[in-house]
Structure 1
Amino acid sequence: MIRPLPPELKGLLARGEVLLAVKDAVRELLENALDAGARRVRVELWGGGLERLVVEDDGEGIPLEDLPLAVEPYATSKLQDLEGIRTLGFRGQALYALRQAARLRIRSRPRGQLGGGLLLAEGEWVEVRPVPAPPGTRVEVEGLFLGEGRDPKGEVRGVLDLLKRYLLHHPRLALALFAEGEARLLFPGAGLEEAARLAFGRLLAKRLLPLAYEAGGLEVQGLVSRPEVSRTRPDRLFLAVNGRPVAFPEGLLRRVRRAYRELLPEGHYPVGVLNLSLPQEAFRLRLDARKEEVVLSEEAEALVEEALHALFRRENLARALPEPKPLQPLSPPTASGLPRLRFLAQFRESYLLAEAGDTLYVVDQHAAHERILYEDLLKRVAEGPRPLPRPLLVLLAPEEEVLLEAEQEALAELFRWEPFGPGRVRLLSAPSFLHPYPLLLPEVFKEALRGEGRSLKALLARLACLPAVKAGHPLGKAQGQALLDALLACETPWACPHGRPVLLALKEEDLIRRFGRRSGARAGGESRPHRPRESSPEEPSPQGG
């Protein structure tokens, strides 16, 4: 039953619902649908949602007698007291704010009600009448931000990003987005891994590890990146508390960074999504219009750190070497400044072990191959794009269409293309070294398009990443030695194109100190193999150095 909030609660809520963009209106209506138990939601945008916005769900619906209250300020069926917030929406202002900002039309019917109700509202005018209606609720908003000169494409992109974010936290929701009648997003509620492919892209999603951990009534589930995936900002690390998308608290971010401390370069952050299920006493939500800031209890933050440590142990990701250091540029004997490396073995099909002099080297095979390919691309890209034997059709997502205009100048140094209908371009030219890979070319084009950097070097770095040998790929002795030799021929072999270290060096003296020995191979006898002497049971065993 919908009822006005009592005066003592009104004073604790910030006045006015913040509607800064079409995505804010979509967020409020989507949260209403989720609170109503919707399993299917359809969003329609006309003119980027500025002309008309429609959100339709199959939730429980609003009774006819409650429809007039639904658009009144501080009227909600969701909140009894501030200690018992169990829903995404609770302020009782969203529909009232939309009524004041645009023309509002709500058609709704609960499943147990015979016939539905239709509400029309604009400003202070409200009209309600009975109408036939299917179960659920359909909200239409017309003339939002009228006369403000908004960019419809930018509004569509904002809504698309918002819906992808919510699917990370509600991956069983069937969600559809249509812009100008054309499908832009069709998600069947296929689970978190599919939602991650949609939000992060197929290649990055493959490098995410599933996380599930529970202790003391607190639970965390999600996907987090392996050490080879990181960013210098935490902008691709998403958090939800009880299904509500929220900003990452600083304390929790420090915990996550500490868990990854030995796995990521300094100043880097993982990628992924964490979904926390917490009792009410384990967090506090700021009661502003955005409803995005939370303070977590010490127990909740510790749970996430424990979950990450448990995951890394299970996946054998925790580093056990005695703190090898990234190499700095060295002096000759070789052109690159590195001594010739002798291949020893491959570790976990991801790292090459090599030696030179008194130093053991650990080489990230993916980063090394990236560097080799990148420097080769730098030399070959001067050829410019060459006509393809046959043009290739590339399908673009809505956000990629928007990026195409912004990245046009950088992409033109590598590709030539032409529009080929909505959401499509025809690829005409590409660097000649990519011609033998027609199946890979559309992905290379889109990966280059999605790159953050606008420079040619940033695009080449992404191109080098795609075909580079991946972690988990076995290499034989000859292949491993060939990779090391090619790395030595690079101008900058100690860092990949993205700035991550390629090699870690471990001096023999560090091993001697860690094992408590007095000397190594160069000092003589102790480290040389020798035949053990026979000893009687009464004779004490020799003490090792």
Structure 2
Amino acid sequence: MPQIQRLPDLLVNQIAAGEVVERPASVLKEVLENAVDAGARAVEVQLEQGGVRRIRITDDGCGIARDELALALERHATSKIATLDDLERVGTMGFRGEALAAIAGVARTVITSRAEGAAHAWRIDGSDRSLAPAALNQGTVVDVADLYYNTPARRKFLKSEGTEYAHCDEVFRRVALARPDIALQLSHNGRVAHRLPVGEPVRRIAALMGDDFLAQARAVVAEGGPLRLTGYASLPAYSRASRDAQYFFVNGRFVRDKLLTHALRQAYADILHGARHPAYVLFLELDPAGVDVNVHPAKIEVRFRDSRAVHQFVFHAVSRALAESGAALAGGNGAGEPAPLPSSGQRVAASPPAAGAGQWPSAQAVQGRLAMDSGAASHRYYDFVAAARPDGTGGAAGAAGLVAAPPRMDAAARPSGYAPAPLPSADKAPPLGYALAQLHGIYVLAQNESGLVLVDMHAAHERILYEKLKVVLDGTPSIQRLLIPAVFSVSARDLAVAEECGEVLARMGFEVGVAGPQELAVRTVPALLASAPVAELMRKLLEELREFPATEVITARRNELLATMACHGAVRANRTLTLPEMNALLRDMEATERADQCNHGRPTWTQLTMADLDRFFMRGQ
């Protein structure tokens, strides 16, 4: 029978390295976090051959005392926690005390450090633990060479130099985004890749994410109880094919958490195509006791004590930021400040002014009659426009709305003295300006203070109708009682979730009861989902309820139906619109949430500034 024996320290460290040190980027992450915890104000990173040949990190932090250098290379030796209470309220980046020991077990490691007040620095060799005096102004230098030199099997799993450097660059970016108060520099094979001075967070984000990201992003600032969320979330127009531009930080620590990912995916659900991914840099702050960071050796996963509250907070904060339509900010006031977004409650219907003989109503007059009942059928959306036409085609003829084009007047039929109202001045134009014309029955051309606005009328109208339908149905849901209850088998876990969340299900329109030891019976469903497969829908809903708030599945199915209704009800291509109708569409876009994209993630409008047009025609060159 094999005997139980204690493993040698070197083998223990090499085993730990399998969890902590996966590749050069893992070494860089651990040592960078130690530099941040040491209070460094400037950190320099030097890499050779993607970090496989060498990783050298220099910081100006507090340093390590001579008597503690050897202890720093021992497993589970740290200055960052001492009691269980410290572990439950971790406020530092590192705390396990096993990184340096694991690194020294698989690479040639030399640490040089000078503690505050020390006469000079000391150097320790990670292999034989020998100490020697050294020269260093302040802080610590960690020099890691020949990664996996003593474990060649592990080294074979490393990728090419370019791939390993890309992973190191990503780790550097994460730390740099989290700490704009620290000057950071990264060089590879003697060439400087990043030199980031201390500055404002927005400058650091622009340096690493690019100005184009900030130009296509909305600021997120939300606070609720112990939770605070700040940062930037991109508009759907900046969406990407991969998740390479997604950075989420919890108390300054970069994390990949499925709860947070789900909340953000739901926030983008109505405005982003399913195959695309948003970009964001977001910082969540909360009490350290409310999050467990001791979940995984790499410390990239976390667990929240109140996960549902965090999920809802992040979801609503990002949703509110994205809901503000860029149409309300276009043009602005000429000073770069966003124009206020009018709410639907502020839009009051005005009585129709009496149009002069043979004159079209002005754009302002038509826009004064824009307030419509959100429950009206989409094909009657612009009835009031036809009713105000001077050719007398209102009433029954105008009831066709946007389904059939109202008849046009030729020159001979126009009353004497007829003249179209002049285009209002653009000096104080609304954000999307005033309509000029329609192009090929598809696009609306408008003029605002900045220049030319191009609007896809079908996509824009589709979003307007969709948001109005959601408002109508956000109240008490209509319930459909099933003639024969849907009975289906579930697991014991799902049965417990159904009993625990009975009130939540009832508010959503489901009457669910226990029909057997492992059976559920559904007696009512929301009327909009009456034709959906009840058993399949309920199983998926219970699965979501185990981890996420209750409304995601039902909201998604309901929104799919509403999106289809809005798409079919929106004005179609080749439908000729009058100027008042076009202006009505522009005003509604400015007052509609998420009006920048249609329900399928396509943009609804774009802006061409005067500078863009001048460059195109080479004016001033």
With the length of structure 1 as denominator, give the TM-score of the two structures: 0.56
Higher strand share: 1
Q: Offset of 1:38 from its aligned partner?
A: 1.1
Output the CA distance in 1 between the equivalents of 2:466 and 2:116: 76
Give 2:266's aligned residue.
Answer: 258
Give 2:438's aligned residue.
Answer: 481
Counterpart selection for 1:35 from 20, 34, 37: 37
Asked if the contact 2:255/2:302 (under 8 Å) is kept, the reply is yes
Asked if the contact 1:52/1:142 (under 8 Å) is kept, the reply is yes
Taking a change above 3 Å as real, the CA distance of residues 509 and 213 of structure 1, as seen in their structure-2 partners, is: closer
Matches within 5 A, 1:336-355: none
Structure 2 counterpart SS, 1:48:
helix
Q: Offset of 1:54 from its aligned partner?
A: 0.3
Structure 1 counterpart SS, 2:111:
strand
Structure 1 counterpart SS, 2:272:
coil
Give 1:61's aligned residue.
Answer: 63
Give 1:438's aligned residue.
Answer: none
Give 2:219's aligned residue.
Answer: 210
Output the CA distance in 2 between the equivalents of 1:513 and 1:29: 50
Give 2:570's aligned residue.
Answer: none
Taking a change above 3 Å as real, the CA distance of residues 320 and 52 of structure 1, as seen in their structure-2 partners, is: same
Counterpart selection for 1:76 from 75, 78, 90: 78
| Alignment-mate amino acid for residue 477 of structure 1 | A
Name the % identity. Answer: 27
Q: Which moved more, 1:189-198 or 1:32-41?
A: 189-198
The runs of 5 or more residues in structure 1 that have no matched partner are 1-10, 322-343, 348-352, 362-471, 489-500, 516-545
Matches within 5 A, 1:56-205: 56-80=58-82, 81=84, 82-122=87-127, 125-146=128-149, 148=155, 150-205=159-214
Matches within 5 A, 1:60-459: 60-80=62-82, 81=84, 82-122=87-127, 125-146=128-149, 148=155, 150-231=159-240, 234-249=243-258, 251-265=259-273, 269-296=277-304, 297=306, 298-312=308-322, 358-359=401-402
Taking a change above 3 Å as real, the CA distance of residues 94 and 45 of structure 1, as seen in their structure-2 partners, is: same
Asked if the contact 2:218/2:322 (under 8 Å) is kept, the reply is no
The runs of 5 or more residues in structure 2 that have no matched partner are 1-11, 329-340, 345-362, 368-380, 387-399, 405-429, 446-457, 473-621
Structure 1 counterpart SS, 2:89:
coil
Output the CA distance in 2 between the equivalents of 1:311 and 1:358: 34
The RMSD of aligned alpha carbons is 4.0
Output the CA distance in 2 between the equivalents of 1:319 and 1:232: 34
Asked if the contact 2:206/2:214 (under 8 Å) is kept, the reply is yes
Asked if the contact 2:217/2:233 (under 8 Å) is kept, the reply is yes
Q: Offset of 1:279 from its aligned partner?
A: 0.9
- How big is each residue's C-alpha offset from its partner over 1:173-224, in whole Å with a ceiling of 9 and x where there is no partner? 2110111111111111323323333443331231112222222222221111
Counterpart selection for 1:44 from 43, 46, 53: 46
- How big is each residue's C-alpha offset from its partner over 1:246-288, in whole Å with a ceiling of 9 and x where there is no partner? 1032x33333333344433456553202111111232222432
| Alignment-mate amino acid for residue 265 of structure 2 | R
Taking a change above 3 Å as real, the CA distance of residues 487 and 221 of structure 1, as seen in their structure-2 partners, is: closer
Taking a change above 3 Å as real, the CA distance of residues 283 and 482 of structure 1, as seen in their structure-2 partners, is: same
With the length of structure 2 as denominator, give the TM-score of the two structures: 0.50
Structure 1 counterpart SS, 2:32:
helix
Taking a change above 3 Å as real, the CA distance of residues 486 and 187 of structure 1, as seen in their structure-2 partners, is: same
Output the CA distance in 2 between the equivalents of 1:192 and 1:72: 36
Q: Offset of 1:134 from its aligned partner?
A: 1.0
Taking a change above 3 Å as real, the CA distance of residues 507 and 161 of structure 1, as seen in their structure-2 partners, is: closer
Output the CA distance in 2 between the equivalents of 1:260 and 1:227: 8
Asked if the contact 1:263/1:319 (under 8 Å) is kept, the reply is no
Larger Rg: 2
Q: Offset of 1:234 from its aligned partner?
A: 4.9
Taking a change above 3 Å as real, the CA distance of residues 126 and 228 of structure 1, as seen in their structure-2 partners, is: same
Asked if the contact 1:164/1:198 (under 8 Å) is kept, the reply is no
| Alignment-mate amino acid for residue 481 of structure 1 | Q
Taking a change above 3 Å as real, the CA distance of residues 114 and 257 of structure 1, as seen in their structure-2 partners, is: same
Taking a change above 3 Å as real, the CA distance of residues 473 and 156 of structure 1, as seen in their structure-2 partners, is: farther
